[in-house]
């Protein structure tokens, strides 16, 4: 991962440091510290997001189990000064992030689309979302023209349900949470978004909504 500091921000840091310290070395060190901090925060966030998926895998292979344990251990070892992480810490964290990014769990996508709609682009987007969250999509399911139906009565979702109950997947990606809750079920805790997430998590499955993930929501 390449971290770049905007020119205006770098110039401001140089001016700030030059006025306070009176030498260019202090200005350079200030910029280096900022770059390391940004890289550290980005990698820690990335690893944490991937672990939320990978840690749900039942009976993980040795490579995955070892990498997950090492990643969790390193995340617990924080630098003494978060504004000045050492180069060795940042380097180790980057190496671990690269390793964790290669690990995958089985995933599925589900889409609810209007009658006659082309769902291929939707599944393609959902596939990219799954990959960004540690998933390798093996199943693509959808329903057309059934957005008013209860989720459990939709044929496409019933196929997802069989994957869930058979523990074939660890990650499920959807376009939006609204696709999962028909109008008649809005406001009903058991059949709403939270109820569905609780049900999936009980089977060891993480739900990721693409719209929220792209907006930066912690989902």
The full DSSP string for 62-114 is: HHHHHHHHHHHHHHHS--S-TTS--HHHHHHHHHHHHHHHT--EEEEEEEEE-
Tell which CATH architecture fits domain 105-214: 3-Layer(aba) Sandwich (3.40)
Of 84-93, 129-138, 143-152, which one has max mean pLDDT?
Answer: 129-138
pTM of the model: 0.78
**What confidence score (pLDDT) does residue 219 get?**
44
As a whole number, the mean pLDDT across the chain is: 85
Residues facing residue 207 across a β-bridge: 172
Residue 10 corresponds to which tokens in the numbers above? 């770098």
Confidence band, pLDDT 50/70/90 cuts, at residue 172: very high
Q: Residue 87, Cβ neighbours under 10 Å: how many?
A: 9
Residue 52 corresponds to which tokens in the numbers above? 């939320």
Query: 5-56 pLDDT, tens per residue?
Result: 554 555 455 555 555 545 677 778 888 888 999 999 999 999 999 999 999 9
Domain with CATH 3.40.50.1390 in the chain: 105-214
Query: 131-148 pLDDT, tens per residue?
Result: 999 999 999 999 999 988
């Amino acid at each position: 991962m390449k971290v770049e500091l905007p020119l205006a921000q770098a110039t401001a840091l140089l001016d700030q440091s030059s006025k306070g310290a009176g030498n260019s070395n202090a200005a350079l060190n200030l910029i280096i510290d900022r770059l390391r901090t940004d890289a550290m925060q980005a990698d820690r966030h990335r690893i944490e997001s991937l672990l939320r998926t990978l840690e749900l895998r039942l009976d993980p292979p040795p490579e995955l189990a070892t990498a997950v344990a090492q990643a969790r251990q390193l995340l617990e070892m924080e630098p003494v000064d978060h504004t000045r992480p050492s180069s060795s810490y940042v380097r180790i964290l980057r190496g671990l992030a690269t390793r964790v990014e290669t690990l995958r769990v089985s995933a599925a996508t589900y889409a609810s689309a209007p009658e006659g709609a082309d769902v291929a682009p939707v599944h393609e987007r959902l596939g990219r979302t799954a990959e960004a969250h540690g998933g390798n999509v093996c199943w693509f399911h959808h329903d057309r023209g059934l957005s008013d139906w209860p989720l459990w009565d939709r044929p496409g979702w019933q196929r997802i349900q069989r994957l869930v109950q058979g523990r074939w997947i660890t990650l499920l990606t959807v376009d939006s949470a609204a696709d999962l809750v028909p109008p008649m079920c809005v406001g009903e805790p058991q059949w709403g978004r939270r109820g569905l997430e609780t049900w999936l998590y009980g089977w060891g499955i993480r739900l990721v909504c693409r719209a929220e993930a792209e907006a930066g929501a912690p989902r």
